[in-house]
Amino acid sequence: MVNRISTSEREVMRRLARLGIRPQRGDILYFLTTREPGEVEALYAEADRVRRECVGDEIHLRAIIEFSNHCRRDCRYCGIRRNFPGVTRYRMSVGEVVDAAAAAVDLGYRTLVLQSGEDGWFTRDRICRMVAGIKALGDVAVTLAVGERPVDEYRAFFNAGADRYLLKHETSDAELYARLNPGMNLETRIKCLRALKDVGFQTGSGIMIGLPGQTLESLAGDIMLFHELDMDMIGCGPYIPVAGCPTEWSERKREELSFRVLALNRVVTRDTHLPSTTALSTLNENDARALALQRGANVIMPNLTPERYRRFYEIYPSKKRIEVDTRAFRAELESLSFQLGRSISMGRGDRAGWTNA
Ligand code: SF4
């Protein structure tokens, strides 16, 4: 019996192939908007194939330590923004951060992600001491996510040993960006991302899906921008509304589009590290992680912030219910990777070809 491929199937395959060679906004929009379940499944299958071919079967674990929830910014969508009411503020000391990192290293983590609001109390010197203290623990990669800083501070952090830097741009729609991030602009954000790459960091960005006023066209623009900037890590998850900043998109739509954006990022950017985000698991606690790992993701970022601080870093509601017991969660991830025929990486999980020279 001859298996015939229909004209429309051939068209979908042609579009998917083109996305991996010369991505075009029209092809991205096509997969963001199609209502054909078969076409969406073809996208997911291609993302899984590209993931296997370009980054392999290993799942990289990055331990996050949220060391300060003070922030000078007032991003409308954020539950720890400067003027958000009722937030209990905390800062960990440099020593506490290094101790938390040592505990994560003992559990087998080889990448630590140090995340905070834009907190001026953490000066260049304090962050450099924190990075140096962690690098002294052994061959571990340090990722910083501490917001927009002057380029000379980026250089100092890199020289202190930091390997990676995360700075999400959240939306590539400049007008929407300015509306949601008072006092900030997209141009500066992108300049920072380019500067971080120039300094030598493996650099990550990301977006939220379902922000108020966001469009599918702007999501397509986000994926094109990730490609243009050659991001080494891309974190995309659904927007989970905080008080005073509602979304027009249903939970179902935000979840569905988050999977499509993840898969498109994999097909377009090929060997970039893509996490299954905590926000996605917050919307769908049961299946999201496994589905994301089969739709392009190759990274999971467990939260190893000490228990006594963790509940205060609530950038969106209900985030705290995830990953309460760090040892149990690690065992759960190992079991999941086994079920999927994957393995947990024992390495640092650098992007292929990168060296901290
Ligand atoms: S999103 Fe980041 S920079 Fe904006 S208010 Fe929240 S912690 Fe601060």
Contact 100, 65 (CB under 8 A): yes
Q: What's the gap in Å between 326 CA and the centre of ligand 1?
A: 25
Domain spans in the chain, listed from the N-terminal domain onward: 12-344
Give which of 196, 239, 234, 181 is closest to 214, Cα–Cα: 239
Instruction: Identify which of 74, 78, 184 to mutate to test ligand 1's pocket (most ligand atoms within 8 A of the CB).
Output: 78
pLDDT at 292 over 90: yes
- At residue 102, the pLDDT reads 98
Rounded to an integer, the average pLDDT of 342-357 is 83
pLDDT at 354 over 90: no
Contact 333, 59 (CB under 8 A): yes
pLDDT band for position 285 (cuts 50, 70, 90): confident
Ligand 1: list residues with CB < 6 Å. Answer: 71, 73, 75, 78, 80-81, 117-118, 147
Q: What is the pLDDT of residues 300-340, one digit of tens each?
A: 999 999 999 998 998 888 764 555 677 888 889 999 999 99
Give which of 356, 357, 327, 342 is closest to 60, Cα–Cα: 342
> What does the DSSP 8-state code read for residue 181?
S
Mean of the per-residue pLDDT values of the chain: 94
pLDDT band for position 356 (cuts 50, 70, 90): low
- At residue 321, the pLDDT reads 54
Residue 142: enclosing H or E segment and its boundaries? Answer: strand 141-145
Q: Which residue has the higher pLDDT, 183 or 284?
A: 183
Contact 301, 59 (CB under 8 A): no
CATH 3.30.420.40 holds for 12-344: no
Q: What is the pLDDT of residues 161-202, one digit of tens each?
A: 999 999 999 999 999 999 999 999 999 999 999 999 999 999
